[in-house]
Every structure is written in C-alpha cells, then in structure tokens.
Amino acid sequence: MPKAHRYKFCFGPWNISEGQDPYGPTTRPAQTFDWKLAQLKKLGFDAMMFHDDDAVPDIDGKSDAQLRKETGELKKKLADAGVAAEMVAPRLWFSPMTMDGAYTSNDSKCRQYAIERSLRCIDIANYLGTDLIVLWLAREGTYLREAKSGRRSIELLVEALDKMLAHDKKIRLSIEPKPNEPMDHAYLPTIGHALAIAQLTRDPKRVGCLIESAHAILAGLDPADEIDFAMAFGKLWSLHLNDQNGLKFDQDKPFGSSNLRVAFNQVRALERNGYGTHGEYVCFDVHPFRPTKVEHWLAHLDNSRRTFLKLLKKARSFDDNKAKQLIADRNLAALDQMVLEHLMGA
C-alpha cells in the first residue's frame, strides 16, 4: 500500500438539486450559484466541478469576449473562496441541436455545433485554470440501433476528440462512460471502451477516463474492477462516487447507500492504486432524495464524504496478512466473514 495521503473532495452545482424527475416538478426552491458555492465552502470541500453553462449561463448566446469576462469573474469568486475548479464539461444534451446526438448526430450542422461548443468549453477550462475536460457522452448512442451506423459513430467520436486535442495542446479529456440513460444503448458504455477509443486519437496520452460508481453498476460491472483497470493504465483522472440499487434508472444515491461492501471495495481499490496522489479529486455525483427538506439539503454530500472517510479507515485497518493466509488456504468462507465482521465492527 502507498503511504497514507489526504484525499481532496469535490462536487458540482447540479448536486444541490431541486428534486425534479421525469414524473414531477421541483420540490425545493432554486438557489443561486453563489449560495451553492458558499455551501461547498462551508462543508469544507476543496473543489467544484462545472458544466460549461454552470460557468457561463446561456453560453450559446454569448460572445467570446463575454465568455472571457464572465469566466474571469467566476475565477475571482473561486479564488476568494479558496475553491479550485476541478473540471469543465460541455453540456451537450440540452440543446435542440443535440436531440439526435452531439458528435454522432446524423446532421452535420448539429455535429458542428457540438464541436464548436466543446472548443468553447476548453476555452472556459483554460480561463478557470484547469486542464481537465469531462465528456459524459449522454446522447452518443441510439434509441433504435438502425438509426445510426455504429462504425461511423466511432469515427465521428474520434474526429471530435481529435479536434479538441488539437485546439489546446495541454488539455486532457476524461471520458465518463455510461451504458444507458438517456439512450437505449451508448457507444462508450464502459472504461474499456473509453480507453480503447483513446488509442485511435491523435494523442492517446491525453485521453483518459472518469468512473462513476452508478454507471459501472448499470453496466453490470463492479466499480472497484473498473478503478483497478483504469489505474493499471494510469488513466483515472476523475471519479464520481455514488451508489445505485441494481439495474434501474440512474439513481445517484449517496456513496455506500445501497451496498456498503461494494463501496468498501472501491475505497480499497483507490488506496492500493494511490488515487489522489497526482492531484485527482474524489467527486460525489449524488443527489438528495426527492422529499428532502431545504434544511437537510446538503446532507447527501456531507454523508457521502463521511462514509468515504469511515470506509477509508476500514480499508487502512483491514488485516491484509490474515486475508492473504485465508486466500492461500482457499478458505473463502472465512475471508467473506472476515470482511463482513470488519465492516460491522464486530
């Protein structure tokens, strides 16, 4: 195990959400960005994640000069609060231009829009002082397999990644795979897909990934294995910890809420690979439960971090030597019980 280090924590403004879902409206009043930033600081988190339009609202109608001005103001706000910008992500799933996909849209004008917007997102990241772009490829997939060519879509994705890499020689692209939702099937559903497509780009070293626990579970995988896999390539540049109860809609539950043991194994995987020792953040992509009152609005974030830190203690105090002996003796029943009792504190 590498020497113990302090983890740095992060979330995005969308994680203080108002409770709407496809079947009902908000259950809490909208809050300003400044209020959310103040809460992040009060909770003692280190950084904030941004969509391009979290940083510059209504970005599509704005000139580059406006973009630079508004990002400058945001940068000052963050500096005054002592909060870093972890990453910027182009929100490529909201505009009417991306209803049939962004980089893989069947309409070349829409693809052009998606690429131009991504290049502006890179400019925002530059102004804010982060070299990390996160690409959650929300609509790069199909509702109907016959609606797009999978082969052509991969070529279009590579073309888009190449344009981003060429726009800025320092920027790093972190692909956040998700197998479904909002699409039926996505083109890059797992970390294996993300790291494979990186190899087809003009600069594979600058294309890595972000693992979200819920997305791995939706793909039927163990997020701990995804962490080990990505880190074996040195490519895990960000992380969205949360939880998910099986194959349902994307739930974004607090970390550890559904399956403490799966959460424990993610923390163990992060520890054995030294996640965070190169400046990476632990981000929580979690949402409050819909009935949550305003006065309990931040608990899911604070709780996720508390659970993480408690599981970190459990990971660091796990008796690895005893586990090794049980493994050598093929005594998996005893190993299983040892893990359970360690987690229960028995």
- Active-site residues: which are they? 51, 54
Closest distance between ligand GLO and the C-beta of residue 338, in Å? Answer: 34
- Classify residue 94 by its DSSP letter: S
What is the C-alpha separation between 185 and 277, in angstroms, rounded?
Answer: 34
What is the C-alpha separation between 148 and 1, in angstroms, rounded?
Answer: 46
Q: How far is CA 41 from the centre of its chain?
A: 20
Closer residue to ligand GLO in complex, CB, 136/264: 136
Closest distance between ligand GLO and the C-beta of residue 309, in Å? Answer: 22
Closest distance between ligand GLO and the C-beta of residue 251, in Å? Answer: 10
136 binds ligand GLO (CB under 6 A): yes
The H or E element that residue 270 is part of is helix 260-273
Among 212, 228, 243, 280, interactor with Mg ion by CB under 5 A? 212
Closer residue to ligand GLO in complex, CB, 36/314: 36
Q: How far is CA 254 from the centre of its chain?
A: 14
SS3 91: coil
- Classify residue 337 by its DSSP letter: H
The H or E element that residue 212 is part of is strand 207-212
Closest distance between ligand GLO and the C-beta of residue 240, in Å? Answer: 5
Closer residue to ligand GLO in complex, CB, 74/283: 283
Partner whose binding site includes residue 228, from ligand GLO, Mg ion, none (CB under 5 to 8 Å by kind): none
Partner whose binding site includes residue 134, from ligand GLO, Mg ion, none (CB under 5 to 8 Å by kind): ligand GLO
178 binds ligand GLO (CB under 6 A): yes
Q: Which of residues 282-321 bind ligand GLO (CB under 6 A)?
A: 285
What is the C-alpha separation between 136 and 285, in angstroms, rounded?
Answer: 12
212 binds ligand GLO (CB under 6 A): yes
Closest distance between ligand GLO and the C-beta of residue 174, in Å? Answer: 9
CA neighbours closer than 13 Å in the CB half-sphere of residue 44: 5
Q: Which stretch binds Mg ion (CB under 5 A): 50-58, 72-80, 164-172, 205-213?
A: 205-213
Residue number with the shortest CB distance to ligand GLO? 89
The tokens for 123 are: 């400019």
Q: Which of residues 226-255 bind Mg ion (CB under 5 A)?
A: 240
Long-range contacts of 152-158 (CB under 8 A, 24+ apart): 152/104, 153/101, 153/104, 153/187, 154/187, 154/197, 154/200, 156/103, 156/104, 156/111, 157/103, 157/104, 157/187, 157/188, 157/197, 158/197, 158/200, 158/201
What is the C-alpha separation between 234 and 97, in angstroms, rounded?
Answer: 35
Closer residue to ligand GLO in complex, CB, 206/287: 287
Closest distance between ligand GLO and the C-beta of residue 36, in Å? Answer: 15
Closer residue to ligand GLO in complex, CB, 233/249: 249
Q: Which of residues 22-81 bind ligand GLO (CB under 6 A)?
A: none
Binding site for Mg ion (CB under 5 A): 212, 240, 285
Binding site for ligand GLO (CB under 6 A): 89, 134, 136, 176, 178, 212, 240, 250, 285
